[in-house]
Structure 1
Amino acid sequence: MVNAAFEQASDAMIITDAAEKIVRVNRKFTSLTGYEAEEVLGQTPAILRSGKNDPKLFTNVWNAINTTGQWQGEIWNRKKNGRLFVAELTISAIINHHSKASYYLGVYRDITAAKEEQLKKQQQETREAHTFLLNRPAFFQHLSEFCASCGKPANGQGALLLMNLDHFRDINDLYGVSAGDDVLYEAARRLRKSLRDSDIIGRLDGDEFAVIIQGLASESDIAKVTDKILERLTAPYDLGNRKHVTVSCSIGLAPLNGKACQSDTLLRQASQAMRDAKRKGGGKWRRASVEAETESV
């Protein structure tokens, strides 16, 4: 009866010996991971490791098992075909009459679909629908968190960039709203391409975008990044049917030099610098600092 329950369980199950060598798996394990029993017997569960888990995870797992006899949590794993999955894993020690763990039972419940749905919902709540950039509330939340930690030396140099496409309304008037949407989508794509994964990009309103840059070595590095953004945003946009438009862009930069800051102050400084750039004719960027006011040419 026990054997039948093990084989017919709805969750993937695995039994290892005290040395963590796999001695048995059930049918659901094969269905979930793609590994036949003979492929994993004698191996350790490390065959499923994905490389995506916190390096401290497995130390914490064994600390819990050695202390309480059990551990439960979420873990990323990799199937035989290389695809990742998320499982709710419960590991229980099977204690012998010498009060030692002779075997370990692992039960994997696949929660990948639920995790994907949760991520999709989070993205819908925090992402702007057209460009898939952070929406205004989500970006401001990141900005507040950024300002709370910007005094830490490890964060290096940082800045808030506010940018606005100059005379964007003319595109809508001349070519239609659909063409304007295409330009906004392409502008968002160019921003992502210009920046690192660690940089934070948002669309605040209409044709206004914002970026949080952090962890750069110097103010000159920030200037180089801003120059690159400006160059890419002002390159011609292809509207199809052999139509191309060139859109200039005004950028306001509020620098952070490892000092504590407030998000409201930072926004005000960047906004003022952006307006200064527009008053100078657009197509350039301005630094908020009066002492080091800079514009690209």
Structure 2
Amino acid sequence: MTQKISSHAFIHLSINVNHRNNVFEHIQNGIMITNCESKVVYTNPAFSRITGYSAAEMLGNNPGILHSGRHDKKFYEEMWKSINEKGYWEGEIWNRKKTGEIFPEFITISTLINIDEYVCNYIAISSDITSFKLEDLRNLTLAFYDPLTGLPNRSLYHDRVSHALDNAKLNPNSKHTILFMDLDHFKQVNDTYGHLVGDHLLKIVGQRLSSLIRAGDTVARVGGDEFTAVLHGDNDKATVKKLAERIVENIEKPFEVDGHKVNIAISIGISFYPDDAKQLDDLLAKADEAMYDAKKTKRKIQFYDELA
């Protein structure tokens, strides 16, 4: 059933088949035209390149064949409300290729009306924005993750600890543990073997630390050879000390890096929330202070509350 609409709301556009083919066949955006019953009557070569569906496969089909399942009923209801009331809709949508791959598109859907001011067709012009989404993901990764080790960086680490402390205010029994870790003799590795070996070593150290930290906790690289971790839950000193001892033991095992046998050590400072501090900066500063004492005294592991 066609719908009569006011002429000032939409653009009159008649499509001559030959002219349409000459123009649309060479456009890099995907183009799909449906009739007023939402059956596909035309797709251009770019549409086939983007989705994997040939023009013959789409002809007579409902565009719903592209639905990814990511959007709910309300999403499509809002889309059609805009199309019916304004004559167009544009936005990002996740569709599904013939291969089954789900991908993001930016789509503009417009109504086409005939000289009698009735909707005769809908035209969708789409662009595959996968590359833009990947760029956004890369930017997000650079903002919150260390590019060398892939671990959370200082910014993300602070955000996670801050979030944990905010939640702790709602639970008086909540406890958290901060481990501040610094590699010993790392500068010597760089001076002896070069920065490429040093970088590779940092990456392996990050992997070893990650393998020792529980999935719900966070280990991060916050500086050149500085790592830190936050442990959630009521961890008593004995439990935390055993973890710290496992870290020391694993980091002091020889590393095979680019054909070189490399030995380093690690110093660890530990502070507890809320016993040692209740504010983020104070908690981190006290773990840092304990770490420097562990390095200076060569104890390797130092609790803040046991500083002389």
Please indicate, yes or no, whether the TM-score normalized by the shorter chain is above 0.5.
Answer: yes
Partner in structure 2 of residue 71 of structure 1: 89
Specify whether residues 161 and 81 from structure 1 end up closer, same or farther in structure 2 by C-alpha distance, changes over 3 A only: farther
Q: Contact (CA 8 Å) 1:161, 1:210: kept in 2 or not? A: yes
Question: Distance in 2 between the 1:22 and 1:197 partners?
Answer: 49
User: In the alignment, does 2:295 pair up with 1:274?
Assistant: no
Partner in structure 1 of residue 205 of structure 2: 187
Partner in structure 1 of residue 64 of structure 2: 45
Aligned partner (choices 80, 88, 108) of residue 98 of structure 2: 80
The structural deviation recorded for 1:142 is 5.4
Aligned partner (choices 221, 234, 237) of residue 203 of structure 1: 221
Q: Summarize deviations over 1:175-214 as a string: whole Å, max 9, x none.
A: 554443332121123344555787655322221013355x
Specify whether residues 197 and 19 from structure 1 end up closer, same or farther in structure 2 by C-alpha distance, changes over 3 A only: farther
Unmatched segments (≥5 aa) in structure 2: 1-14
Matches within 5 A, 1:49-64: 49=68, 53=70, 59-64=74-79
Specify whether residues 253 and 144 from structure 1 end up closer, same or farther in structure 2 by C-alpha distance, changes over 3 A only: same
The structural deviation recorded for 1:145 is 5.4
Specify whether residues 18 and 262 from structure 1 end up closer, same or farther in structure 2 by C-alpha distance, changes over 3 A only: farther
Q: Contact (CA 8 Å) 2:31, 2:43: kept in 1 or not? A: yes
Question: Distance in 2 between the 1:18 and 1:253 partners?
Answer: 67
Matches within 5 A, 1:88-103: 88-92=106-110
Structure number with larger C-alpha Rg: 2
Question: Distance in 2 between the 1:13 and 1:225 partners?
Answer: 63
Matches within 5 A, 1:64-213: 64-66=79-81, 68-69=85-86, 70-92=88-110, 105-124=123-142, 127-137=145-155, 139-140=157-158, 143-144=161-162, 147-148=165-166, 151=169, 159-172=177-190, 175-194=193-212, 201-212=219-230
User: In the alignment, does 2:257 pair up with 1:239?
Assistant: yes
Q: Contact (CA 8 Å) 2:252, 2:263: kept in 1 or not? A: no
Q: Which moved more, 1:29-38 or 1:156-165?
A: 156-165
Question: Distance in 2 between the 1:71 and 1:152 partners?
Answer: 44
Specify whether residues 239 and 77 from structure 1 end up closer, same or farther in structure 2 by C-alpha distance, changes over 3 A only: same
Q: Which moved more, 1:138-147 or 1:29-38?
A: 138-147
Q: Contact (CA 8 Å) 1:15, 1:104: kept in 2 or not? A: yes
The structural deviation recorded for 1:225 is 12
Partner in structure 1 of residue 46 of structure 2: 28
User: In the alignment, does 2:227 pair up with 1:227?
Assistant: no
Q: Summarize deviations over 1:211-264 as a string: whole Å, max 9, x none.
A: 355xx6x3349958982872654443113446242534425354479xx95321
Letter in 1 for 2:78: N
Question: Distance in 1 between the 2:213 and 2:234 partners?
Answer: 16
Q: Which moved more, 1:266-275 or 1:101-110?
A: 101-110
Q: Contact (CA 8 Å) 1:150, 1:256: kept in 2 or not? A: no
Partner in structure 1 of residue 282 of structure 2: 265
Q: Contact (CA 8 Å) 2:177, 2:270: kept in 1 or not? A: no
Q: Contact (CA 8 Å) 1:233, 1:247: kept in 2 or not? A: yes
Unmatched segments (≥5 aa) in structure 1: none
Q: CA RMSD in A?
A: 4.6
Q: Contact (CA 8 Å) 1:71, 1:91: kept in 2 or not? A: yes
SS of 1:10 mapped into structure 2: coil
SS of 2:28 mapped into structure 1: coil
The structural deviation recorded for 1:19 is 7.5
